[in-house]
Structure 1
Amino acid sequence: MYVDPFKNVDPFKNIDPFKNSPLLKTIEQNQKWIEIANQQQKNMDELVKPLIQHQKRIDEMLGPFREAQKITETFKKIADGFIETEEDIKTFKVAIVELGYPPHDTIDIPLLKKIARDYRDNGKEHVQEYIDEFMVSYYDEETIQEIGSEWEEKDHLKKRLPLLKEVIKANELKMYNLIVPSLLSQFEGLLIDAFKIKGHVNGAIQTILLDYLLINNKEDQSVLSFDNSIHRYYSGNILVSFAHGKAIASDISRHAILHGADTEFGKETVSLKVILLFDYISNAIEKLDAERVEAGRNAVNDYREENRRNNKKKKTS
């Protein structure tokens, strides 16, 4: 019987097909390089780790200083903004008076800045082209009614309220010829009542009282105050000198209008100027303290006494 000598024998047993293979050697070499690279990365991480931790500690230490620097930069920007706004307000004070309007503290700062910069960059003539339209639009009928409502709350205006209410009503009806002379007639009385003055009052005494109302007010001379500008406006427009037959220097000249020389005052813009000025003067009077009232009265007495001495000298000379 024939027996197969290779039966149950695996001819490929113990034979490694990749033994001494170049591919196997390449793979083994790459694995070694990978292991070396991994080890170097671990070594590098160990070296860098302290540096990272040190940097974190530095960042933690510098954190408050960096925040302080940011805060400082923020405050600087705010300060620069204030300086810029302050310059705009100064420009506006000059501009609005030259443009024929009294400044009023209800105007929005952004609009104030726009007018100031336009005036500074493009000149008075350019702003003059639109200032009337802007003012009557900004101080519209609703705003004038709000001003009138505030007048009703002021104690020092109580005896003038019947007239003032009619002024507001006349504004609704666009009866500007009634508003202008009605309010102009009240300015002198406002000042006289505020300082409790008796006797004859001329333009010089009005100027003295105006000084103590607006100029000699040390408590309210911030850049945001329009007192100096209002004083200049009142003196140059309400109290401006006037003579019949000569050119009228102001469209709200008290003397020219109340003495019948100016008859062209029945305009919305002229009415608005008088209303805004009256409101500002009224608000300023509300802030008067007893010390300034007494100082104003003393100044008027000194003026009158000096006048008496001068008149006496003239009579004896």
Structure 2
Amino acid sequence: MFILSIKHLKKKAMNICEDDELFFEKFLLSDDYFRENDDIEAVTFYIERKYSSKSFLNLIFYLMDNSGAFTNRKDLLRELRQLYKKRYYYGALTLGITQLEHMVVSFNKFEGRLHQKELIRLIKKTYPEEDSFYMNLHLEYVMCKFEHGKEIKSKISRHGIAHGGVDDHGNAINAYRCLILLGHLSTIISNKM
């Protein structure tokens, strides 16, 4: 039954993103995935099998290291990598989500106090026009607003995690959603420099 769930997941993912080599990443990040369902164990198993491989982690951290955004943060990058390797997903997501903001701010050479509206403007400025899929995911899931005591739309909400509004975010799915965004943003920054 577990294998059937994984086959079902792959089939569902292919239906969402037909003929796209990044279909699983897009499926993983899409709103359709976030509906909790019976496949949650299969999704976690599949993600850990696919993404915790040494070659995938090496690629993402190579992209991040060479983006120019982490020149003075080598220790932080090393620690983030260890959190992923050891599957410490609460720590990986909490640290990783903050680095998305760092990358945007660093790339845009922003200085001073940063308000949410300004950060959203910088995010939109960072992503190329043809990359609206990932930009919208960044804005919709990472930058979504929350209020204490109310349901939060995203388990990778920067505000929700930083202010203690999300307490069940530490799993492979959420951590790798963040890592995929970090890797993609690193590629954008590298290409624009």
Contact 1:99 1:128 in 2 (8 A): no
**Mapping of residues 280-299 of structure 1, within 5 Å:** 280-288=184-192
Distance, in Å, in 1 between the alignment partners of 2:181 and 2:135 is: 10
Instruction: Answer 1 or 2: higher relative contact order, Cα 8 Å, separation at least 6.
Output: 2
Q: Report the alpha carbon displacement of residue 127 of structure 1 after superposing the two structures with TM.
A: 7.8
**Aligned match of 1:203:** 116
**Deviation readout 1:127-151 (Å, 9 max, x if unpaired):** 8784443332221231213322443
Matching residue of 1:230: 134
Identity among equivalent pairs (%):
20
The amino acid that maps onto 1:211 is K
CA RMSD of aligned residues (A): 2.9
TM superposition shift of 1:286 = 1.4
For the 8 Å contact 2:148–2:165, the answer to whether it is kept is yes
Once the two structures are superposed, residues 273-314 of structure 1 have per-residue CA deviations (whole angstroms, 9 ceiling, x without a partner) of: 11111111121111225xxxxxxxxxxxxxxxxxxxxxxxxx
> Which residue identity does 2:156 align to in structure 1?
I
Structure number, greater radius of gyration:
1
Q: Deviations over 1:144-188 (max 9, x none)?
A: 133224433343321122111111112222221211111112222
Aligned to 1:180: 93
Greater fraction helix: 1
Query: Structure 1's 174 and 209: CA in aligned 2 closer, same or farther, altered over 3 A?
Result: same
Structure 2: which 5+ residue stretches go unaligned?
A: 1-16
Q: 2:105 aligns with which of 179, 192, 202?
A: 192
SS at match of 2:19: helix
Aligned to 1:256: 160
Give yes or no for contact 1:180–1:270 (8 Å, CA) kept in 2. Answer: yes
Partner of 2:20 in structure 1? 89
Partner residue of 2:148? 244
Change (3 A) 1:173 1:125: closer
Q: Which residue matches 1:313?
A: none
Which whole-Å CA distance do the structure 1 matches of 2:113 and 2:174 have between them? 29
**Residue equivalent to 1:168:** 81
- Alpha-carbon distance, 1:240 to partner: 0.6
The correspondence of residues 1-317 of structure 1 with structure 2, limited to 5 A, is 88-89=19-20, 92=23, 95-96=27-28, 97-100=30-33, 130-142=42-54, 143-216=56-129, 221=130, 227-288=131-192
Do the aligned residues in 2 keep the contact of 1:215 with 1:228 (CA within 8 Å)? Answer: yes
SS class of match (1:89): coil
Contact 1:141 1:171 in 2 (8 A): no
Name the aligned partner's letter for residue 60 of structure 2: I
Point out where structure 1 has 5 or more consecutive residues left out of the alignment.
Answer: 1-85, 102-123, 222-226, 290-317
Q: Distance between the aligned counterparts of 1:134 and 1:152, measured in 2?
A: 26
**Total equivalences in the alignment:** 173
Q: Secondary structure at the match of 2:110?
A: coil
